[in-house]
Structure 1
Amino acid sequence: MGNGGARFKELCLDTDGDGEAVGRFWAAATGCEYTRSGPDDPGDVVGSEEGMGIAICRVPEPMTVKNRVHLDLHTASIEDLEALGATVAPEQDDDDPWTVMLDPEGNVLCGFVREPERMPAYRVYELAVDAADPEAIGRWWADVFGVELRHKDGTTWWWLEDVPGMPFDAWVFGAVPEPKTVKNRMHWDVYGDVADFEARGATRLWEMPRWTVLADPEGNEFCAFPFPEQ
């Protein structure tokens, strides 16, 4: 798998609610649409490309710890995100060019204020992942997708660009001191071969009818789907 071969499919977000409030928030915040088939369906955030989607997944467990996976968003103003239902997190670093916020269920996101001419229709800027060793796990995913691992000297984060199927600018891995203790509230789905992922060091967690749930070497859950038939 050193030559890549995997492809990004979509994001998934857990909810212990009915899914509608958080789904509608993320649809509006990202410039997408929210759809559901009925009251028993938590729904989906749907964009103009498959990779823009966020599948809302109902789970029994509530959110108990800070998200280790979150999204950075382009926004015209922090007030715009607040009007959609987000709240500004109590702890901020004045030196950061972003504002840490919480969605209606407490999931972390970061708002990056842009000038109107820089505001894209699809407003996800980056996918950010906390890591014990961001260089190692970034390199693992770079190898999986066949892209370059990027880094700026003097920083504690590494990132990927031009991932096949990924519609946002970058996938960032940043160093944090705390270990992963529970299942990630947000995860990603990819197209790829399960045996190839396992050969690279992924762990198979369980099987579903249409996909396989795996964990990368840092324990981040992801779902592997077979490539669709052409």
Structure 2
Amino acid sequence: MALRLVQVNFKAGDDSALGRFWAEALGWGVSSEGPGVTNVEPVGFDWPAPSAVCVDVVKVPDPETVHYRAHLDLATTSEEHQAELVARLHELGATPADIGQGDVPWTVLADPEGNLFCVLEPRPMYRDTGPIAAVVVNCSDPRAMARFWGEAMDWTLHEVTDDLARLRSAEGVGPYLEFLRTPDSAACGRVHLDLKPYPGGDQAAEVARLRALGATEADLGQGEVPWVCLVDSEGNEFCVLSPG
């Protein structure tokens, strides 16, 4: 049994506008599986595949009530690329954000709906991740998160300390999933993780396995849907999609 991280899910007041922003930011394309849902993924991408974690933007009635602790870090290849990307993101509607980061080499921004993200300075470890360097989740205990998520998914644990846990697809491609120790585990916006079983997998069995690892089911008012909403031991919400 195994699960993989296939997309990050943004809650939005205007899924189409936010989806267009992220498509332009990442250099990807957009599609829609129905009203109120905008999918952002690389052009020609055969979803799901480990080379990319896609973006799924979902319209909700009151996005201001949604507060998750995940955000995206964007990769750059040079200082010039970083400056150009930040300038282009400003033109697309991103705004500077001060979260007390002080004088750091990365740039903190907010997308048009207020979700925080970072444009990193060039770092060798992210040179082959694609435009998304990492999906980052604020937490209190990275070691505990490494234990849970290392068992929850088939991704490989690359690093774990008191301050950071870092996982990546076992195939060594695509972005990293990072759990960053943050004193107050502050909310970053409206982004959570979506996991998916491999073809032929059993969603119910995977959910039972996650519950045995310490996850609990979450009622978000989702009603009758084909996915299951859970929270990990620190209260981070995520969904388990159907295998199909």
Shorter-chain TM-score range:
0.7 to 0.9
Aligned to 1:31: 27
Aligned to 1:158: 165
- The TM-score, its normalising length taken from structure 2, stands at 0.76
- The TM-score, its normalising length taken from structure 1, stands at 0.80
Deviations 1:164-192 (A, max 9, x none): 7x963311101112256x89611111124
The aligned amino acid for 2:38 is G
Whether 1:59 and 2:57 are equivalent positions in the alignment is: no
Instruction: State the 1:36 CA deviation.
Output: 3.7
Identify if the C-alpha distance between structure 1 residues 179 and 46 changes in structure 2 by more than 3 Å, giving closer, same or farther. Answer: closer
Whether 1:226 and 2:221 are equivalent positions in the alignment is: no
- Equivalent-residue separation in structure 2 for 1:167 and 1:59 (angstroms): 32
Contact 2:4 2:155 in 1 (8 A): no
- Equivalent-residue separation in structure 2 for 1:133 and 1:126 (angstroms): 18
2:216 to 203, 214, 230: 203
Identify if the C-alpha distance between structure 1 residues 35 and 69 changes in structure 2 by more than 3 Å, giving closer, same or farther. Answer: same
Instruction: State the 1:10 CA deviation.
Output: 1.4
Whether 1:81 and 2:86 are equivalent positions in the alignment is: no
> What 5-or-longer segments of structure 2 have no aligned partner?
198-205
- Equivalent-residue separation in structure 1 for 2:189 and 2:229 (angstroms): 13
Contact 1:139 1:149 in 2 (8 A): no
Contact 2:5 2:194 in 1 (8 A): yes
- Equivalent-residue separation in structure 1 for 2:163 and 2:136 (angstroms): 13
Aligned to 2:207: 194
Q: What is the percent sequence identity of the aligned residues?
A: 32
Instruction: State the 1:98 CA deviation.
Output: 1.1
Contact 1:44 1:56 in 2 (8 A): yes
4+ residue stretches of structure 1 with deviation over 6 A? 118-121
RMSD: 3.1
Whether 1:8 and 2:24 are equivalent positions in the alignment is: no
Instruction: State the 1:94 CA deviation.
Output: 5.1
Residues paired across the two proteins, number? 218
- Equivalent-residue separation in structure 1 for 2:158 and 2:127 (angstroms): 24
- Equivalent-residue separation in structure 1 for 2:33 and 2:195 (angstroms): 24
The aligned amino acid for 1:218 is E
The aligned amino acid for 2:41 is V
Contact 2:130 2:175 in 1 (8 A): no
> What 5-or-longer segments of structure 1 have no aligned partner?
none
Q: Give the alignment of 1:41-190 within 5 angstroms.
A: 41-47=36-42, 48-50=45-47, 51-63=52-64, 68-75=69-76, 76=81, 77=83, 78-91=86-99, 93=101, 95-114=103-122, 122-151=130-159, 156-163=163-170, 168-179=174-185, 185-190=190-195
- Equivalent-residue separation in structure 2 for 1:215 and 1:72 (angstroms): 22
